[in-house]
Amino acid sequence: MPKLVWFNGSVSPLESAQVPAADHAHLYGDGLFEGIRFYNSRIFKLDEHLRRLYDGMRFLGFQEPMSYDAMRQAVIDTCAQADLGDGYIRLNVTRGTGLGLDPRAVKTLPNVMIMINTLALYTPEQHEAGLDVVTTSWRVIQADSLDPRLKCIGRYAANIMAKREANMQNAGEGLMLNQQGYVAECTGDNIFIVRDGVLRTPHPSCGILQGITRDTVIELAKRAGIEVREEFLTIYDITSADEAFLTGTAAEVIPMRSLDGRILGSGSAGPMTKQLVAAFREEIKLGTPYLVGTTA
């Protein structure tokens, strides 16, 4: 089975996998998810993703469906059963099964799904040429409504609407601002700009999801001696940047070519962007191996 689903301990082909109709995420968006890449039979940043997942479960008041170590092993074992060397893991944990908004209606342990699939968000040509991005009218959810560090399933309705708006303009991505008008993130990616040799990205308090790939790129930049600043950025900062790029588990690291029809910098991937893409490509070789005989 190259593509498969582990659901509460049972494995089935992706095409025939099922979840309960009264799953609380299906009914109310009451669940968490992680998207995780694996490359050359190694899972990239597995522990960082799992830590965020367990932090989210504690915050939302989920019962713990299994120990951290058991969850980690389940992901590794499921990857080992799939006939894929490179791919994408979708890990969902929902509050459980039960009809009614009140969490007390859920009488089961949380439902856990581990999907092994493939995902190519952007084409090789887009990775080479860069994305044309538009500013959308949809704002990120404010932190006093839902903490942006939660990778909550229900939170993404606004991002989907922003992506739909970008699609209607034939753009590669949509940029979302916060309620104060500062740059937050794209619909599924974090954003970085380069100006005068300094790497800049929105401050976490701007309402962003602090992405695992975002954190990885910041660390790679610091290792290379690049100054990194987390700041309050506006549209003006983006359009006056020398370079810009987006990061995310699904997007990886991809150049940004324009915003709202304004070409950024030279209109192609700049030197710092290329440097960090190359460094990221090396970093993904260091993931957690899941096949017997693969060296650590």
CATH class of 124-283: alpha beta
Percentage of the chain with pLDDT > 70? 98
Nearest to 259 by CA among 276, 236, 291: 236
* In the predicted structure, residue 132 carries a pLDDT above the cut 70: yes
Structure tokens at 263: 């070409």
**Mean per-residue pLDDT for 181-200?**
97
What's the rounded mean pLDDT across residues 174-193? 97
Three-state secondary structure call for residue 110? coil
CA atoms within 13 A on the CB side of 160: 5
Residue 239 has pLDDT above 90, yes or no: yes
Q: What is the pLDDT of residues 65-109, one digit of tens each?
A: 999 999 999 999 999 999 899 999 999 999 999 999 999 999 999
**Count of other CB atoms within 10 angstroms of residue 120:** 9
Q: What is the pLDDT of residues 81-90, one digit of tens each?
A: 998 999 999 9
Instruction: Give the CB-side neighbour count of residue 242, counting CA atoms within 13 A.
Output: 11
Q: From the options 3.30.470.10, 3.30.930.10, 1.10.3720.10, 3.30.1490.20, give the CATH code of 4-117.
A: 3.30.470.10
Q: Dump pLDDT digits (tens) for 44-53.
A: 999 999 999 9
DSSP classification of residue 121:
-
pLDDT of residue 1: 67
Reported as half-sphere exposure (CB side, CA atoms, 13 A), residue 222 has a value of 9
Given a cut of 60, is residue 292 above it in pLDDT? no
In tens, the pLDDT along 240-290 reads 999 999 999 999 999 999 999 999 999 989 999 999 999 999 999 999 999
Within its chain, how far is the Cα of 139 from the centroid?
18
What is the reported pTM? Answer: 0.93
pLDDT per residue as tens digits for the range 31-42: 999 999 999 999
Q: Summarize the confidence of residues 137-165 as an average pLDDT.
A: 93
Q: Which structure tokens are listed for 158? A: 């606004």
pLDDT of residue 294: 53
Q: For the chain, which residues make up each domain, given as ranges?
A: 4-117, 124-283
Enumerate the H helices of the chain as residue ranges. Answer: 24-28, 46-60, 68-81, 124-129, 157-168, 212-223, 235-239, 271-283
Q: Active-site residues: which are they? A: 151
> What is the mean pLDDT of the segment spanning 23-29?
97
How would DSSP label each residue in 175-229? Answer: EEE-TTS-EEEESS-EEEEEETTEEEEE-GGGT----HHHHHHHHHHHHTT--EE
Q: At what angle do helices 68-81 and 46-60 cross, to 10 degrees?
A: 130
Q: Is the pLDDT of residue 169 over 90?
A: yes
Say if residues 153 and 58 touch (Cβ distance below 8 Å): no
